[in-house]
Amino acid sequence: MRFVFWDGSASGPSNGPGTLKVCSVDGVRRIVWAQWELGVSRAFVAGDLEVEGDMFAVLRALHDALTPRDLRRQGIGMLPKLLGAARRLGLLGRRLQAPAEEARSVGRWHSPKRDAQAISHHYDVGNDFYRLILGPSMTYSCARFVNDTVTLEDAQKAKHELVCRKLGLDTRPRARLLDVGCG
């Protein structure tokens, strides 16, 4: 995989699964302070990381290369070099705040108040957002994509038709279906 850094430098082959662009030193700082998936996710959401190419292949390559077991195998001998590089890059310093998009619930863990805050943060985002991912039907359960050329709208329609056929609603002219979904 190829890495391109904020200063224009790059490392790795250009014919791999894709390129991970580290747009600022903050991208690396986020990963250092909140390790593994959380740090990468925060850096991506904050705009400090960008992916060119197949995102899933890039994430798979990162996961395969950076498992804790592999890092332990490298040994404690790497630590002085890593700390020196971190100092030169400006990675040492205070922890960065989580991106504004990240939920910051307060209160007792899994209390009704805290859970309500988390639910509101993730779901009260408005119909414009949901229309993008659910299509005009606003159907929350999964669409039925029968091939790569099907649009979201047609996939939702195909799912509705399949469900209605399986329930026998196509033989009952006045029957209706209410799809409430579940998440």
DSSP 42-86: HHHHTTSEEEEE-HHHHHHHHHHH--HHHHHHH-GGGHHHHHHHH
Section 33-57 average pLDDT: 89
Determine the pLDDT at residue 183.
46
**What are the two backbone dihedrals, phi and then psi, of residue 142, each rounded to the nearest 5 degrees?**
-70, 145
SS3 28: helix
Q: What is the pTM of this model?
A: 0.62
Please list, in sequence order, all residues whose beta carbon lies within 8 angstroms of the beta carbon of residue 92, skipping any fewer than 6 positions away: 83, 86
Binning pLDDT at 50, 70 and 90, where does residue 172 land? very high
Look at residues 89, 96, 88 and name the one whose alpha carbon lies nearest to residue 43: 96
Which letter does DSSP use for residue 144 in this model? -
SS3 34: coil
SS3 3: strand
Q: Is 69 exposed, middle or buried (0-12, 13-18, 19+ CB in 10 A)?
A: exposed
Average model confidence (pLDDT) across the chain: 85
pLDDT single digits (tens) 61-74: 887 776 666 555 56
Provide the total of helices (H) and of strands (E) in the chain, helices listed first.
Answer: 8, 4
